[in-house]
Amino acid sequence: MKYEKEFPLFKTKVEGIAKKFNLSDLAERKKYFEAKAGGDIAKLQKYFDSGKTFMVYLLGKKNAGKGTYTKLLMEIFGRDKIAHLSVGDIVRDLHAAVGDEKYKKELLDYLRKNYRGYITPEQALDALLGRDQKTLLPNEFIMALVKREIDKIGKKTIFIDGFPRNLDQVSYSMFFKQLVDYREDPDIFIAIDIPEAVIDERMKYRRVCPICHTPRNLKLFTTQEVEYDEKDGKFYLICDNPDHERARMFGKEGDEMGIESIRERLELDDKLIEKIFSLHGISKGLIRNAVPVDKSKDLVDDYEITPAYEYEYDKTSGKVKTIENPFVVKDDEGVEVYSLLAPPVALSLIRQLVEILGL
């Protein structure tokens, strides 16, 4: 597998633990992490309790699960210890909030004090919001927005998702902690290795409730009830919320194209990870979404493998039968792999952080 020489395949299987944990259940996940990584969790908890923090730059392709892994660590250690900062969310929230004149004034006041660049804060804001198509948005402006969010978060360990976002921002990220005045935290780059075939399936089979917008996946994350429409010959996920009157879930426009709609972004993400891995003097780690099928029995437990769902319609009863099998794809090198659920990937992240921090 990719980067296997620098980062050997990770083993989540622990001898002597025969119990199968339901990783979709919060209480079961807690028992799972305690059973498989209790010692490492205790070390990190002690680190946090002493008032120490660190900054993690999560590098991964679009839909790699960066936010999901951070949320699992927040679940384990608490939101008072860990924060998730998404550059994409910052930009989206800015679009929504900038119509508020009071908010806009506060933002511009902050930028005038903290932003340094070749265009004015007003020009940069217009470029960000798309009102000025000719001006190239400077990296310094994005840096100032990220710094503003970190100022608001305060003294917590921060997982930054979406920065650096281009090759020019890599050099900025190396000196980012010096730019955030009060922090003396270790900074760590964690890359996520995920086969493009997994991202493709996540996108093609993604389904969303038209009422609550809850996402699910026809193939990888089913609902309690599935319906078959004899007219169009298709299976539909039914939203689990009982108040939604059995609402059918639908794919978003363009999802059927899968990764082809984001091909350029994926190629850039690959270049970013390669450039980061070539740097010296910076702590780096790698978490993998998948394991080779022929090595899986030694590395992971069966319940840690992502299930894939197929459906059969019984015309007589009018009911749909859901069939579950392991999710098997070929990775980017053509090796057959099992995709992993999020908790075992988060488990490998916890162990690597303990090692990198020297705990």
For the beta carbon of residue 98, count every other beta carbon within 10 angstroms.
15
- Residues 226 and 317 placed together within one structural domain of the fold: yes
Mean pLDDT of the chain: 87
- Residues 68 and 91 placed together within one structural domain of the fold: no
Given its phi and psi angles, is residue 219 left (phi above 0), alpha (psi -120 to 50 degrees) or beta? Answer: alpha
**Is residue 200, in this structure, part of any structural domain at all?**
yes
**Is residue 15, in this structure, part of any structural domain at all?**
no
Domain final residue, candidates 111, 130, 153: 153
- Residues 294 and 344 placed together within one structural domain of the fold: yes
pLDDT at 134: 57
pLDDT at 275: 82
How far is Cα 304 from Cα 328, in angstroms, rounded to an integer?
Answer: 13
**Residue segments in the chain with a per-residue pLDDT below the cut of 70:** 131-137, 164-184
pLDDT at 2: 78
- Residues 349 and 223 placed together within one structural domain of the fold: yes
Task: Write down the pTM of the prediction.
Answer: 0.86
Type of residue numbered 161: D
pLDDT at 262: 84
CATH number at residue 215: 3.40.50
How many residues would you count in the chain?
A: 359
For the beta carbon of residue 355, count every other beta carbon within 10 angstroms.
12
What is the count of structural domains for the chain? 2
SS (H, E, C) the chain: CCCCCCCCCCCCCCCCCCCCCCCCCHHHHHHHHHHHHHHHHHHHHHHHHCCCCCEEEEECCCCCCHHHHHHHHHHHHCCCCEEEEEHHHHHHHHHHHCCCHHHHHHHHHHHHHHCCCCCCHHHHHHHHCCCCCCCCCCHHHHHHHHHHHHHHHCCCEEEEECCCCCCHHHHHHHCHHHHCCCCCCCEEEEEEECCHHHHHHHHHCEEECCCCCCEEECCCECCCEEEEECCCCEEEEECCCHHHCCCECECCCCHHHHHHHHHHHHHHHHHHHHHHHCCCCCEEEEEECEEEHHHHHHHCCHHHECEEEEEEEECCCCEEEEEEEECEEECCCCCEEEEECHHHHHHHHHHHHHHHHCC
- Residues 231 and 92 placed together within one structural domain of the fold: no
- Confirm if 151 and 182 have CB atoms less than 8 A apart: no
What distance lies between CA 71 and its chain's CA centroid? Answer: 9
Dihedral pair phi/psi, residue 65, rounded to 5°:
100, 20
What distance lies between CA 189 and its chain's CA centroid? Answer: 14
**Is residue 10, in this structure, part of any structural domain at all?**
no
- Confirm if 187 and 322 have CB atoms less than 8 A apart: no
- Confirm if 154 and 137 have CB atoms less than 8 A apart: no
| Beta-carbon contacts of residue 79 (< 8 Å; ≥ 6 apart) | none
- Residues 286 and 324 placed together within one structural domain of the fold: yes
Of the candidates 176, 237, 172, 242, the residue with the CA atom closest to the CA atom of residue 208: 237
- Residues 230 and 261 placed together within one structural domain of the fold: yes
> Which range marks the domain in which residue 298 is found?
40-81+156-357
